[in-house]
Structures are given as structure tokens and as C-alpha cells.
Structure 1
Amino acid sequence: MKKFSMILLTASITLAFSACGGKKDDASGGDKDGHKGGDMKSHKRGGDEDFNKPDLEEKDLSSAGEAFKGWFAKGPKEADVMGDLGGVRIATKKVRGPNSFDLAWAFKKPDFTEMKANIAKGDEVGKSKTTYTVDTAEALEWTTEYEHGKSMHFSITFEVSGQVVNCYTMPMGVKNAERFAFLKETCKSIVKK
């Protein structure tokens, strides 16, 4: 039995060392050809640093509920219209990546004071830092910096056909400045017909 155990131990050690073969070029790893896998410091987190501006078409918002019957807004052809916490959201299946789109509207003006208090609580818990770039009665724009990057957010209120409309980014925000500007511009595409 001892002989069998020793053979098994030797085989296990040999297999373990052979599986770990290959030249490593530095402490961050890599295979024998120098391909690196898990360098987390250079990894693009969130995946929307790149931006491909989509072609937009008019979307019927009525599938989000009775309040949105007769309302339309622009979004990519492949994006879906869905209800979102009392509002309406147009989003592609993937909400991160160069071809993603994710934007929402609601028919009420948010309480920006309460929103800022909640953002401050989030900063405390998430060890992040938020800087407000626009802080008016009609609009709030901010950038949140965290350990692995930053995200930009907005909540903009305006009136369309006598209806108060709030357009906003989703909580995860946007990482690309060009995408951020494009989404803000697209906010104004909402119309009543």
C-alpha cells in the first residue's frame, strides 16, 4: 500500500509541474508565447469605453404602459422599449459595449436634493467620489470616480406638449464622453403625437 501511495504522490506532483509549464515573462503571468490573460489593472471594466454611434429610429413607447400611449422617442432599431420604475426605457440587449444604448424617461420631476443625498450615501458605502458638473433646478449632471475608473450620469427635466419629462441615465452611468453627449442629445427626441 505504501508503494502504491508513493507512486500516486509522484504521479500527482509530476502532473502538477507539467501543467504549470510554459515560460512566464513577468509577475503578471502569461503563457509561453507571452499572451497575458488576467491583468486586472489594464482590463477595461464595464466595457463601454469605446462608442459606435448608432443610427436611430422612432420607437413607440406605448408598450411601457398607458401613460406612454401616443409618445415616441428615438433609439436604435435593435433596442427594446420597456417599462422602468414608472418610466420608460429604451435599451439594447447588451447595455455595455461599443454598440450599447440605454436611456430612460419619466413623467415626473425628481427631487434633486434627495437624489444628491442618496448619491452621497452611495459614495460613503462604495468608497467613491462624486463631482457635480451641472446642478440647477432642471438638471443634475455628475461624475463618480471609483477604484477602477469613473462614470458619468445625468438627470434632465424639460417640458414636452405640456408634460413634465425627466430623462436620465441608468444607475451604472456612462464611461465614454461622446456616448454621454449623444444620450443627452437623444433625450430631446421624445414627442407626443
Structure 2
Amino acid sequence: MEISYDCIYAVDWNVDIYPVANICTFPQESVDKVVDAMQSIQKKFLFGGNHMLCYYLGISQQEALHIKDYIENVDLPDGYKWSFGFFENEKQKLTLIIAVCELKTPFSDTIWQAFFEKDSFGNPSIGFSFRQGESEEPLTKYGEYRIQHKNNALVIEINGWLFAPTQINQLDIPNTQSITIRYVPICILEELYKPPFYQDLEVIVE
């Protein structure tokens, strides 16, 4: 994949932002079943405290598929869903991320233009803003959503791929609020990005 840090890429992303379920407010009759399922997998893991978010460390893609198949068979109460993604550290070791997301208050938008940022290890990070072209409305609504959920852990899904809070960086540049997502495996970058277009942003939006 050819990566340029000097151009805008035309993309077609469905972006959804969800609060991660909190053990304290999750339906109590289902807490033990769900948490036990997440903690029963025989891999080294980190659990997100009160947030129902798990990181399975040093995992292969094949192992991740087996875990995903297992976890998806664990029923969740109405109003919640499982979400899955990958984290890749600077040594190119994979971490599987699994979250229980609340469905009642998502923020959703379509992104048509994105770019790449370089992280501190020289690897590409996803970059985009909810300010697409001339429209300020999605950016304003996103800012309001962040304020509304300032006490929640938020995850981002792009075309079904989960990105955890530890990957997400908000750059609060006035009228932009650029978002970068770090430690993304190259296979996911290849799926999300199309070849670059060099036209004006307004042309891409049209």
C-alpha cells in the first residue's frame, strides 16, 4: 500500500461512536455471564476496569477469529452489542479488542475524505475530521456529543472495525477537531483507504 502524508484520500466510511457499557449500569442479571465470557479466554488480557472492554495481548489473526466466534454466541441484553477490532504495537504484535457497546446513544456520520498522520514510531495513523467540505453541522454535533458523554469511555467504529480509547487522539483545532487513530494494522488501513485524489476537498465531497 502506498501511503502519502501530503494528500487527501477519498474514502467511504460509516463512522459510529458508542459509549462502552459500564458494569455498574449494565443489566445486573447479565453482568456475570458477560464478564465471565470475556475473562474465560485463555490468553493474557487487560480488562477495562468498570468499562466492559477487553484487550487480548499477543494474538494471531486465527486465534482472534476463534475468540470472535465464541464471544458472538454470548447473548447480550437489548440495547447492547459486541464490537471487535485490532491494535498493533510498534513491534507489530497484535492485540484483539472486544467491547460491549451501548446502542441507545450512538453518534453516526459518513466520512468522504481522510488523510494519514505519522505516529511517534514513524507508522501511519488514520486521520479525519467530522468537518467534511463546507458543512460545520456534523462537527458541531460531534463536539456536543463529546461534552454529553465526557464521563463515558467512547469507542469508534469505522466500517465495522472497532478502535479503542487507547488508540484515539483528539486534536482540538478550532473548526476542525481532527481525530487520529494509532496502532492500526496495515491490513485494516488497506481496507479503509482508497487511492488518493488530489482535487479540492469540495470536489471530493460532491
Q: What TM-score do you get using the length of structure 2 for normalisation?
A: 0.28
Higher Cα Rg: structure 1 or 2?
A: 1
Q: What TM-score do you get using the length of structure 1 for normalisation?
A: 0.29
